[in-house]
Amino acid sequence: MKNFKVAQSDLTDTVAAVKSIKEQLSGIDACLVLYFASPSYPAAAISKEMAGAFVGVHTVGCTTAGEMGPDKMGQDSIVAMAWNKVTLKDLKIEVLENIQTDTEAVAKAFKSFEKSLGKPMKLLDPAQYVGMVMIDGLSGCEEAVNDRLGNLTNVPFVGGSTGDNFMFQHTYLFVDGKAFTNAAVLLLMEPSKGYAILKTQSFITTDKKLTPTKVDEKRRMVVEFNGKPAAEAYASVLGISVDDLAKNLGEYPLGLVFDEHNFFVRSPMKIEGTSIIFYCSVKEGLELTVLHSSDIVTGTRTDLAETEQNCGEVQAVVDFNCCLRVLELTRKNQLKAYSEIFRHIPTIGFATYGESYIGHINQTSTMLLLK
């Protein structure tokens, strides 16, 4: 019997799509069905139908800005992965509700985990446990949720922000028949054979630097770089005009660089007046490096191969892939080439409104690899 099975349906009718998913995932004694669904399916209905189709199995998922499944990458489908009971020694799920106002939501969820584990989250062995996190991608709370996760445990949480096909209206999380918004879901897992996490971003660092000297963190806005209006300083360091910067802003993300192997992408969204709004918050006083893009397919293939070589046989992958990367892959006609990187491993993923690992990041793919 297979340990992981993946499925995809692009049937437009919710009931028919779920029926197809159920048929494709038959013959596996599952403890979890993880699924990512287009916002074109009604949220309450898809969650209810999935729970109804997999009775006695946890069904957890979210809406997306695109899905990646065994058949293809695209929009307007459901992708799902069934996890055989033998793949996880332990699985605990908590929903964080009202994340925009409840600053204790992570602590409350952890209290519940601790109650059933019988030990504090801060003492859990990160080699034994791993977390998955999905956060409402329109909540603006990803930084706070990731920060609190890291404060309270050393168990790594990997995941992404839910999407809604770039409509920017509502995104949803699905847990066991219910649909949630302004929420996050945590899955605390003890994989039977271990796990690996891959964070890959297809950029190289340059010697061009910008230091945010005035920011509005809540709005993810940089007002000034290097003591000058942000747009002017940004354009100046690139050697282009502000007009040209505005036209091609997405081509010039910045990196919070720890070292040459570890950096965190901060992607600019738009120029507002003389300020710049980013897709994630930027800290005042911490130098950022201008990044130069490289090929996503080549970079991801290389990084995945290296991770597989280091950790041995990988049985399944969950890919939280930034929607900006997916847009670039679409523009370059590389969607098929990207999905073929994962052809040899059961994989599902979705186009996210942000990625989670150590913090909230952009233009990155964060992956959970199950051994």
Binding site for other proteins (CB under 8 A): 122-123, 126, 146-147, 150-152, 154, 156, 256, 258-259, 262, 264, 283-287, 358-359
Nearer to other proteins, 77 or 365 (CB): 365
Nearer to other proteins, 6 or 256 (CB): 256
- Rounded to a whole number of angstroms, the minimum distance from the CB of residue 126 to other proteins is 6
Residue 215 identity (one-letter amino acid): V
Nearer to other proteins, 86 or 286 (CB): 286
Question: Residue 370: what are its φ and ψ, rounded to 5°?
Answer: -100, 130
Nearer to other proteins, 149 or 188 (CB): 149
Is residue 107 a contact partner of residue 115, using CB atoms and an 8 Å limit? no
Nearer to other proteins, 87 or 153 (CB): 153
Nearer to other proteins, 11 or 107 (CB): 107
- Rounded to a whole number of angstroms, the minimum distance from the CB of residue 253 to other proteins is 16
Residue 160 identity (one-letter amino acid): G
CB atoms within 10 A of CB 308: 18
Is residue 232 a contact partner of residue 244, using CB atoms and an 8 Å limit? no
- The residue assigned the tokens 């069934």 is 82
CA–CA separation, 160 vs 352, rounded Å?
6
239 Ramachandran zone, left/alpha/beta (phi>0; psi -120 to 50): left
Nearer to other proteins, 283 or 344 (CB): 283
- Rounded to a whole number of angstroms, the minimum distance from the CB of residue 154 to other proteins is 5
- Rounded to a whole number of angstroms, the minimum distance from the CB of residue 359 to other proteins is 4
- Rounded to a whole number of angstroms, the minimum distance from the CB of residue 148 to other proteins is 8
Nearer to other proteins, 264 or 279 (CB): 264
- Rounded to a whole number of angstroms, the minimum distance from the CB of residue 310 to other proteins is 13
- Rounded to a whole number of angstroms, the minimum distance from the CB of residue 69 to other proteins is 31
- Rounded to a whole number of angstroms, the minimum distance from the CB of residue 190 to other proteins is 17
